[in-house]
Structure 1
Amino acid sequence: MMSSRDQSGSDASGRWQSADDDRDYDQDEVISTRWVEETRRYREPIGGWWWLALFLVPAILALLGLAVGGDKDTSAGKSPTSSSSSASGSGSASGSATSGNGTTGGTSSVKLASAPFAVSRTGNDVTVTAEAPDQASADALVAAVEGALPDANVISKVTTVAGSTAPDAAALGASVKALAGLGDFGLGYDLKSLTAVGKAADDAAKKSAADALPAAWPKGANPAINISVGDDAGASCGTLGDAIKVAMASTKVTFGTGSAALAGDSHAVLDKVAALVKGCAGVKLAVTGYTDKSGNAADNLKLSEARAQSVADYLAKAGIDKASMTVSGKGDADPIADNTWPAAAANRRVKITVVK
């Protein structure tokens, strides 16, 4: 026989008897009480672990996104990856100092264009390389150069890129006119500095060009002017670094997206660099690769090193002593343009520096 603590049920009046504590409750009151107890659990304040998860989950997802790949071209259908390459000259100097080779100027504090540009003369051929937002702007650049050198054969490599900013046509024409008395010359802008190289017949011709060129550009352009006098090898090698800079501003070294394989016209400009270097005995080169800021930093560092190695390997095949080159990568360090599309493409570059 069960005791009263083992039983439960209702009495004749319909009141429910609890088997837990021998007390009688109205059934509706019991249901209401249990509902209050159950719902009270869900009304309790959110604990510390919930707040921690609220902040950690988005952060983990963001890190996973950054960890996938490196140096990606985020634009649809934009391949290969473009690299704006640069080099600093053995005769270059910052500020207003003037070297024995006639170098003045340094880094530009104003933006002269949204992409590298260059004008170079070899014999009677003058090549213009730049980007312009439309055909009218492109034609204006070519016309400015033709006006400065009316007897030259001007070759246009100006491309139209919607949204781009072309160099000022009047300034470009005035610069070419300032350098016209030098014979062969080069003028290049690599988004960091405007550089002019050339050979003058005498000191007077060198001074005339060096005085006129800065006046063609806005204050802050601070062009680096490296003009040698005479045709001897020593004078030419004194401007080697800046000559490489101008060459690489005129033709971009490009790579496939996320790749270290050379693409586009990279081989042609590196052949030109090799020819310049081979004329100067004992020259040492530093080849440095860079990427943009997209992707994982560790992957970008490896990719920048691989791209620099690709350039050094090609120069070695072209006749440059491997032992004369040091190769390194700096990942996304030292950007020369914004790390937003399409400007970020300029940060994917290789830099060749003449080491003193």
Structure 2
Amino acid sequence: MLNTIAQFMPFVGTVVLVGATLWAIFWLLIGRHSALGDELKFPRQLILLGLAIIGVLVTLLVLPVSENARNQLIGFMGILISGVLAFSSTTITSNLMAGVLLRITKPFRVGDFIRVGDNFGRVSERGLFDTEIQTETRDLIALPNTYFINNPVTTTRNSGTIISATLSLGYDVNHLEIKRHLTQAAQACDLEEPFVHILELGDFSITYRLSGFLGKSKHLISERSNLYGSILDTLHAGGIEIMSPSYMNQKKLRDETRVIPPARAVHPPEEEKTLAEDIAFDKAEKAEELERQKQMFLKEIEELESSLNKTTDESAIKKKKDAIETNRKRLKLLIETSRKTKADTE
């Protein structure tokens, strides 16, 4: 009897040690951060799952049984895991793995403008199996994560992007004059470092492309529209026609006739209170702001916890602990608000 108990003592000790270690790691990664959202908990849960599997294997290795029985148990565990993966839907498994890969490579974040395939919009939510984007028409499209792995993804950088406009003009106007007017149109829209390229010398017209750097990528759609309008105003004010060759061939005009809208006093438009992006990308905008605030609170908590270990003054320690607790409560409230907002919009 004593020999049997002695044989099981290492096994019991290992079980207790593994269990205590996993509980401590759980508390460090997730338990003390109860306000973390699903997006931030996911990588920590993966780490905990991997450690749990390792813990089970270690426990099996110290089990007081014969080598043959131990190998059978380990083999059974492998078969069990393989069976779970095999019986799971291939689509579900592949989307889950693609979601993990997207979180590792981070090709885009919540709030980014992206284009994948024929879909364009702002990322409003990232899930384990799919990613949701909000289009220019305010619609929500849920795309499986494998779609992002199998297709090129174009991400508009938050630090700014280049917007362009392409148009064709006749050979009767010098290309240097065209470049000058187009550059003025870009400068009127506050685009930085504008430049003009000649793309094609066609049979009846020259194709130009005007480009400029836009620092506020959040207003991408509105600024592109403003650029088109500025091109129209600038070219018409300079006496340059914008029309297709077929239209010119069909309409009989004298050589000195110019087809330009009637001159009128142009007043700068009043500042718009609502931009198109504010309506079209409302969910993506809220998601991006919530994510920014989450990261801000987490960074403050991390900095306070780091400085807490270097502080010896009791009053300073108490203030920092109170600040940490306050930030955790704010983070928890923020996540609850985020979930409530998501539920109301669905």
Shared fold per TM-score greater than 0.5: no
- Of Structure 1 and Structure 2, which has the larger fraction of its residues in helix? 2
TM-score under structure 1 length normalisation: 0.25
So what's the TM-score if we normalise by structure 2?
Answer: 0.26
* Bigger proportion of residues as strand: 1
